Amino acid sequence: MLVRTGLTGPFPRSEPLVAATRDLDRGRTTPEAVEALYASAEREVLALEERLGLDTLSAGYLRSPDLFRAIAETWEGFTVGSLTRWFETNTFYRQPILHAPPVRAAGAILARLPAPIRAAPARARVILPGPYTFAGMLENRSGETEPALVHRLGRLLGEEVRDLRGAGFSTFQFTDPLLVIRPPEGPRAEAVVAGYRAVASALNGGTSIAWTYGADATPAFPLLDRLPVSVVGVDLADTDPDRISEARGGPALGLGVIDSRTTLAEDPEEVARIARSLENRRRPASVWLGPGMPLDLLPYEPATRKVEVLAAARKLLGDGGSP
């Protein structure tokens, strides 16, 4: 079985970095001192990813305040709004407010990627918001309908992918939990497919991943299997692996095998058993293992312990070839 592993969202900040960012808010340290800590913390996460043999690298996205901020603060048409709960978690994002059709700021996302993966883009996983979740979680004052906005965001994200491909990046994850939390139907579903088609047309041989979490993905599989992406990821903390669609020929399967809502470590044997069972039933081209929800729902130490399961499960499953 071809197995791929990688982080699917921000890694938690270490306790010294937590203390430093708090101190910065209170005027007790300097931006330069915090910057130095960020840089060393990014190198530490990268070293952890490399030690575990993860296929895609992220350097932790430690500076990322939320999934949308890099875009909401740089693309025209947006302002950053009030704190809003991020689904069923005790974390919050600042809701983007879209006042007019958005205009992409070329290079803005690249500039905000962690420095270690900017320096080595070939194995990097670029994490961007999925067009459906982005459109659904912002406050839309632009006058555009939601389906039109989903499609437009897909086209803009496609342009972004084209630029990033030119800069050497090849793996792009679109975090799109709303696809399973509020599965789109009718025109919305068609807009989602069209949005991802726009992304696909810019991939030029790269890999696209639509990553979901937060609800049982089973009802959404008829749409997920239609998405023109390389991989569809589902969170096994919410989706019963035995109920995952057996449809063949669709995207490869991503499995969220780490539950970021508990510090209890997952059993690698159990992860391997589930992956083998799905391989037998669905025959995916590859299986991508990662955390379901972002690991920054955990403190640093438990996250560091739990992520080990990716390497252990991969070892049990066998490697399966080069990326």
Contact footprint for other proteins (CB under 8 A): 12-13, 15, 18, 21-22, 24-25, 65-66, 83, 85, 88-94, 216, 236-241, 259, 261-264, 266, 270, 274, 296-302
**Judged by CB, which is closer to other proteins: 93, or 172?**
93
CB 95 → other proteins: shortest distance, Å?
11
Q: What are phi and psi of 80, to 5 degrees?
A: -100, 125
What is the distance between the alpha carbons of residues 205 and 225, in angstroms, rounded to a whole number? 20
- In the complex, least distance from residue 312 CB atom to other proteins, rounded to whole angstroms: 16
Pairing between strand 92-103 and 76-85?
A: antiparallel
Task: Provide φ and ψ at 115, rounded to 5°.
Answer: -55, -40
Closer to other proteins at the Cβ: 19 or 110?
19
Amino acid in the structure at residue 169? F
| Comparison of 99 and 162: residue with beta carbon closer to other proteins | 99
Q: Which is nearer to other proteins, 150 or 274 (CB)?
A: 274
CB of 163 to other proteins, least distance (A): 28
Q: Cβ distance 98 to 111 under 8 Å?
A: no
Contacts of 254 (CB under 8 A, 6+ apart): 8, 209, 211, 231, 232, 233, 234, 287, 288, 289, 290
Nearer Cβ to other proteins, position 199 or 295?
A: 295
Q: Who's near 273: CB < 8 A, 6+ residues apart? A: none
Quote the least distance from Cβ 57 to other proteins, whole Å.
Answer: 21
Least separation, in Å, of the C-beta of 190 and other proteins?
29
